């Protein structure tokens, strides 16, 4: 009997959940809000929420953003995109962040002819051969090449140890493109490997430092970069550490402390290099709203929202086909992370910014144009 009462009660609770709906232009944000890479999803969400606050209306209609969680999983991403299209009836989609997940999701969106903009999936395959898939970030080969040139020419490095996170395709890809360019320039490379979630790098570092590298290249994500930097300094390595855009997060400094001084990284933007007006506004508003500096992830998600907003405005219609067409024709879009011209295959042509950490702050170093 008690079981019965319990079941009935549960049923009542579940049935009394009613979702809220309204007449609007809908954009879905399919993000990894929980699971292994929840941090990026949460940062992305911050950027999109701010963008929605700053640009809430287009064509006289309110824009409603529906956040759909992917649990950082592929199957969930594909389902989430299908749900966004068929159930939420959205006009455009932002997401996902991880390349593999974006691929699973974009297969669905492309078939349904709904434009999808990924803020941060840098793998070349994500947009390849898809008419309705776009991104606002640059692709891995480009970033790796720039990093290698910077290391060789500006940092004067000849002997580099690369720390590859073998669990992240992003990281393996970057390391690979870096290696190609750097060895072509005449430098030598030695490789160490680790896995996402590893906490102890003492063995790899002991080995790596016995090779007397000029710099370390760690194209992974900020948690591991911070830990590697900390432990590297403890082992007496004080040279520069070069990283990719995965480094850019406040947590890098929080976790790394003094150790992350002299960490250089390739990324999408820096306030001091603000090529656009919107960038400084964004930084100011972001700090006002969340009390911290925006990360690259927040900025890219902000841009993903904004580029869709811009496309709707230019198309003068919220029809998905028209939005997609307008996205393809993007020429002089001024986003937070730079000026974007949409190239063929939905990949933007934009500049790479190189920043470094100095006394617990991100400082602008240089900008490399394509």
Q: Which of residues 144-203 bind another protein (CB under 8 A)?
A: 165-169, 171-173, 176, 192-195, 197-200, 202-203
Give the span between the Cα atoms of 65 and 49, in whole angstroms.
Answer: 8
Q: Which of 57, 207, 284, 358 binds another protein (CB under 8 A)?
A: 207
| Distance from C-alpha of 161 to C-alpha of 215, rounded to nearest angstrom | 7
Owner of token pair 């490789």: 191
Residue nearer to another protein on the CB measure, 247 or 307: 247
> Per CB under 8 A, does 65 bind another protein?
no
Shorter beta-carbon distance to another protein: residue 86 or 153: 86
Sign of torsion over alpha carbons 48, 54, 59, 60: positive
DSSP code of 274?
-
Q: Annotate 40-75 with b (16+ C-beta within 10 A) or e (fewer).
A: bbebbbbbbbbbbebeeebeeeebbbbbbbbbbbbe
- Scanning residues 322 to 341, which ones bind another protein (CB under 8 A)? none
Shortest CB 85 distance to another protein, Å: 7
| Min separation Cβ 172 and another protein, Å | 5
Asked if residue 118 lies in contact with residue 151, where contact means CB atoms within 8 angstroms, the answer is no
User: Would you say 181 or 204 has its CB closer to another protein?
Assistant: 204
Shortest CB 194 distance to another protein, Å: 6
Residues 229-248, mask of contacts with another protein (x by CB under 8 A): -----xxx------------
Q: Interface residues for another protein in 246-275 (CB under 8 A)?
A: 251, 254-257
What distance in Å separates the CA atoms of residue 181 and residue 32, rounded to the nearest whole number? 33
Residue with smaller CB distance to another protein, 51 or 208: 208
Helix (H) or strand (E) holding 218, with range, is strand 215-218
For 176, other C-beta atoms within 10 Å of its C-beta total 15
For another protein, the closer CB: 16 or 359: 16
Q: Which listed residue (122, 181, 223, 355) binds another protein by CB under 8 A?
A: 223
Binding to another protein, residues 69-128 (CB under 8 A): 69, 71-76, 78-79, 82-83, 85-87, 100, 103-104, 107-108, 111-112, 123, 125, 128
**CB-nearer residue toward another protein: 221 or 333:** 221
Cα 304 to Cα 27, 64, 70, 341: the distances in Å are 11, 15, 18, 13
How many CB atoms sit inside 10 A of residue 266's CB? Answer: 28
Question: Counting every residue, how long is the chain?
Answer: 370
Which one, 112 or 131, has the nearer CB to another protein? Answer: 112
**At closest approach, how far in Å is the CB of 32 from another protein?**
8
Nearest residue (CB) to another protein, 108 versus 365: 108
**Which residue, 107 or 184, is less far from another protein as judged by CB?**
107
Phi-psi region of 338 (alpha: psi -120 to 50; beta: other; left: phi over 0): left
Find tokens 């500096």 and name the residue.
293
* Interaction residues for another protein, span 8-47 (CB under 8 A): 13, 16-20, 33-36, 38-39, 41-43
Min dist. Cβ of residue 131 to another protein (A): 15
Comparison of 51 and 255: residue with beta carbon closer to another protein? 255
Region from 53-61, 62-70, 262-270, 309-317 binding another protein, contact rule CB under 8 A: 62-70
Shortest Cβ 339–another protein spacing (Å):
29
Cβ-proximal residues to 84 (8 Å cutoff; 6+ apart), any chain: 28, 30, 66, 68, 90, 93, 114
Angle at 334 between CA 66 and CA 178, to 5 degrees: 90
Distance from C-alpha of 204 to C-alpha of 84, rounded to nearest angstrom? 44
């Amino acid at each position: 009997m008690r079981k019965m009462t319990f079941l009935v009660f549960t049923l009542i609770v579940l049935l009394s959940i009613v979702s809220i709906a309204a007449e609007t232009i809908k954009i879905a944000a399919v993000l990894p809000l929980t699971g292994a890479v929840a941090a990026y999803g949460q940062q992305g969400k911050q950027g999109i929420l701010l963008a929605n606050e700053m640009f809430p209306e287009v064509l006289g209609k309110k824009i409603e953003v529906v956040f759909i969680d992917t649990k950082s999983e592929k199957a969930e991403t594909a389902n989430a995109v299908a749900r966004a299209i068929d159930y939420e009836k959205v006009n455009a989609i932002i997401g996902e962040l991880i390349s593999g997940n974006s691929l699973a999701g974009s297969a669905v969106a492309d078939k349904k002819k709904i434009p999808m903009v990924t803020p941060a999936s840098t793998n070349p395959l994500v947009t390849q051969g898809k008419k309705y898939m776009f991104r606002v970030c640059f692709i891995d080969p480009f970033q790796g090449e720039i990093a290698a040139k910077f290391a060789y020419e500006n940092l004067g490095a000849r002997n580099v140890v690369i720390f590859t996170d073998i669990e992240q395709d992003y990281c393996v890809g970057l390391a690979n493109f870096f290696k190609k360019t750097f060895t072509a320039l005449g430098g030598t490379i030695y490789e160490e490997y680790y896995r996402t979630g590893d906490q102890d790098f003492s063995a790899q570092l002991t080995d790596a430092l016995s090779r007397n590298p000029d710099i370390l290249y760690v194209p992974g994500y900020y948690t591991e970069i911070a830990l590697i930097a900390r432990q590297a300094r403890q082992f007496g390595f004080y040279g520069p550490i070069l990283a990719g855009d995965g480094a850019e997060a406040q947590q890098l400094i929080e976790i790394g402390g003094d150790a992350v001084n002299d960490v250089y990284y390739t990324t999408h933007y820096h306030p001091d290099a603000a090529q656009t007006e919107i960038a400084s506004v964004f930084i100011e508003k972001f700090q006002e709203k969340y009390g911290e500096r925006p990360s690259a992830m927040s900025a890219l998600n902000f841009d993903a929202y904004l580029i869709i907003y811009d496309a709707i405005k230019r198309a003068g219609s919220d029809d998905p086909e028209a939005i997609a067409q307008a996205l393809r024709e993007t020429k002089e879009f001024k986003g937070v992370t730079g000026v974007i011209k949409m190239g063929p295959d939905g990949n933007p042509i934009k500049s790479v910014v190189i920043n470094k950490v100095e006394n617990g702050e991100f400082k602008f170093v240089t900008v490399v144009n394509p």
